[in-house]
Amino acid sequence: MPWSVAFMVVMIVMITAIAKTARHRNHHMLSGSQAAPQEVTHAQEEIRQLKERVQVLERVITENHHSLDLDREIARLRDR
């Protein structure tokens, strides 16, 4: 068996093992400990804010603004 094939097989096995370990760890962490309701609320609020920012950035990038409009939009985002 050529070395490159053996190397690829070893890498595939290692990646699979790492993925299974990570999946198991994440599942164990999620089922084993419940976050405080206050933390969940805070995390949900942060996610909502990040989604809003992504929407604004997508709009800024995809629309054809003149440079002045773009400067105003960036300044408005900084003020948040």
pLDDT: which is higher, 16 or 73: 16
Contact predicate 70/60, CB 8 Å: yes
| pLDDT the model gives residue 42 | 87
- Tens digit of each residue's pLDDT (9 = 90 or more) over 18-73: 888 888 877 766 665 566 778 878 888 999 999 888 887 777 666 655 666 767 77
Which residue in 62, 42, 66 sits closest to 54, CA to CA?
62
Does the structure show a pLDDT above 80 at 4?
A: no
pLDDT: which is higher, 35 or 17: 17
Enumerate the domain spans of the chain. Answer: 54-79
Does the structure show a pLDDT above 80 at 5?
A: no
